[in-house]
Chains A and B, each alone.
Chain A
Amino acid sequence: MTVYESDLPGVGKKFEVELDGEARLVIVIHNTGKRELFLRESEDADAEKLFGLSDRLARQVGTIMEGAYFQPIRTDSIETVLSDDTLIEWTKVQADSPLVGKTLAETRLRQELGVSVVAIQRGGETIENPGADTEILAEDTLVVLGSSEACRQLDGVVSGDVDG
């Protein structure tokens, strides 16, 4: 995915997000805080305005879109960037992962990768601040905090692609 950013002197900034095919989502952020969303079907077409949002509303919608309140897809790992190099990641434990059946202490995730498991989502429930003796089951979703590098290594471990 490519995002094009350009200045609009006296107006604000414009972001163009590539969608399927030639279509692009055009987001204009005004200096006043107002956001306007346009859809351009092809390179030659005129951008059609979809809607406008106030600054406050746009932030609210943005948070919803990001998945802060509801994560519909649990098979892929989803991440939220906290700072330049720190992520919160949701990642699903596959049945063939070496982590299955081990307690958090036994996985040594914190010591070896430097990631902290801050919650485990299991079925409909969430285990907050899981203890060292919490056992990891297949199909659990681990909510972890760590550097982007550590999170990438963890993805290999939970999916069973590499040996833990």
Chain B
Amino acid sequence: MAEGTTLLAVGAMFLALVLAGVLARRAGVSVIPLYIVAGIGVGEVATGAAGASGTLAEVATMVPQPDSEFVALGAELGIVFLLFFLGLEFSVERLLASRDRLLSAGALDLAVNFPVGVAIGLVAGWSLVEAFVLGGVVYISSSAVITKSLIDLGWIANAESEPMLGTLVFEDLAIALYLAILSAVVLGGGDLASAAQGVGVAGGFLLVLVAGVVKGEALFARYLAVDSNELFVLRAVAVATLVGGIALELGVSEAVAAFFVGMGFSSTRHLEALERLLAPIRDVFAAVFFFYIGLTTQLELVGAVVGLLAVAVVLTTLSKFASGYLTGRRVYGLDQRRSVRVAAGLVTRGEFSLIIAALVAGASSPVLAETIPAFAVGYVLVMSVLGTLAMQYADRIADVIPGAT
């Protein structure tokens, strides 16, 4: 399809997302896997019907195509807004206020789960960089799904919410640093000289952003001080997308840039207004991001990594469960039942695993460009459903596990 994406195709995309949402509600699972499935379904219709004739071919021209620039751009906005919110909700003061337990919880989580992913990659015969990417994909839990489930199950008012949210706060910082390193290593590319130059430019840009976050609070606050919701939203969106765009031009991940912009705004008094007014925009574009991930997924590539997937699902479910249980039990001193809930709750992987995969999809190595994105889609589909189920049955799991006291 050479011509651009039509309004009809965009409408079809949102209709598919609406249906996915309805199904998710019915089945009592997170919307994320179903948004992805909706994308996969539409992608299959678009490509599968290319050779066909008649009605099917007619339909295929009406839906978004996998190479649609519009959907890709919408997905990019989804990444920017997801990370912008992560930055908004990230507070250094909070990290420092409860640093003892939070850092122990976060370090435990990182030290257990990240190496498992790296090891799986190395055993599969991948390079160190490729294994490093896999480590990130399997390490990071899904803040969006886990937080939502905490609220839905009413755990938010219980003691187990603290270690879970604490671990997620640490992971948020870890993922920002990780993406910064990854984009320098992977996107830098080319020969050594240009890579070094790229890293230099990227590092300089990030330094400017960090300085802006540290010193620019008054500036950020004044920028948003406007007595109109419309102008307020526009100003916030403008700076998030513009800084993200500049970052991308300079070879820095737009996700990291958006994270820092969000962090810059987080210490201003506009925090609550930002969260309230921008959340709907984030949700729309995040849905487009998940749709895009599904749309560009080639099922035969996912099929080729089924063995690897099975190994990773088993090992990383167990490792996350172990680190979560220890966090609850040892670091936060919870009882056995609540520690099992922490363990079950952190199993879900989601948006960040996909963001990592999307970041490396442009690389030249076939593992990074094809295998890991396909792996990430299959992995997130399984882990998001498995994680939600684990949370629902956490108390029964706790009955089975002997209560070591």
Chain A: residues with CB nearer than 8 A to chain B? Answer: 6-11, 14, 26, 28, 30-33, 36, 38, 40, 44, 46-49
B169 at the interface (CB under 8 A from A): yes
B272 at the interface (CB under 8 A from A): yes
Chain B residue with Cβ nearest A44? B335
Query: Given A9-B168, A14-B156, list of 18 further CB < 8 A pairs?
Result: A7-B91, A8-B165, A9-B89, A10-B89, A10-B143, A10-B165, A11-B147, A14-B157, A28-B156, A28-B157, A31-B275, A33-B276, A36-B156, A36-B157, A46-B154, A47-B154, A47-B158, A48-B154
Chain B residue with Cβ nearest A25? B157
B235 at the interface (CB under 8 A from A): no
A46 to B90 Cα, complex, angstroms? 28
Majority SS of interface residues in chain A? strand
Kindly supply a per-residue 1/0 record for chain B positions 143-162, scoring 1 wherever the CB is within 8 Å of any chain A CB and 0 otherwise.
10001001100101110011
Contact partner, B147, options A10, A33, A38, A49, Cβ 8 Å: A10
**Number of A-B contacts defined by CB within 8 Å:** 55
Name the A residues within 8 Å of B151 (CB-CB).
Answer: 11, 30, 36
Name the A residues within 8 Å of B276 (CB-CB).
Answer: 31-33
Contact partner, A7, options B94, B150, B275, Cβ 8 Å: B94
Name the A residues within 8 Å of B89 (CB-CB).
Answer: 9-10
Name the A residues within 8 Å of B143 (CB-CB).
Answer: 10
Inter-subunit contact A9/B165 (CB<8 Å): yes
Majority SS of interface residues in chain B? helix
A99 to B73 Cα, complex, angstroms? 76
Name the B residues within 8 Å of A9 (CB-CB).
Answer: 89-91, 94, 165-166, 168-169
Inter-subunit contact B158/A46 (CB<8 Å): yes
Chain B: residues with CB nearer than 8 A to chain A? Answer: 89-91, 94, 143, 147, 150-151, 154, 156-158, 161-162, 165-166, 168-169, 272, 275-276, 279, 335
List 7 contacting pairs A-B, 8 Å CB cutoff, sorted by A. Answer: A7-B91, A10-B165, A11-B147, A11-B165, A36-B151, A46-B158, A47-B157
Name the B residues within 8 Å of A48 (CB-CB).
Answer: 154
Interface core residue of A6, A9, A44, A48 (most chain B CB under 10 Å): A9
Name the A residues within 8 Å of B161 (CB-CB).
Answer: 8, 14
Chain A residue with Cβ nearest B93? A7
A48 to B276 Cα, complex, angstroms? 27
- Contacts A10-B147, A11-B151 given; indicate if A49 touches B157 (C-beta within 8 A): yes
Q: In the complex, what's the smallest C-beta–C-beta distance from A101 to chain B, in angstroms?
A: 52
Contact partner, A6, options B90, B162, B272, B335, Cβ 8 Å: B162
A15 to B272 Cα, complex, angstroms? 18
A44 to B91 Cα, complex, angstroms? 30
A26 to B90 Cα, complex, angstroms? 24
Q: In the complex, what's the smallest C-beta–C-beta distance from B266 to chain A, in angstroms?
A: 11
A68 to B156 Cα, complex, angstroms? 31
A47 to B155 Cα, complex, angstroms? 8
A8 to B89 Cα, complex, angstroms? 10
Name the B residues within 8 Å of A6 (CB-CB).
Answer: 162
A14 to B155 Cα, complex, angstroms? 12
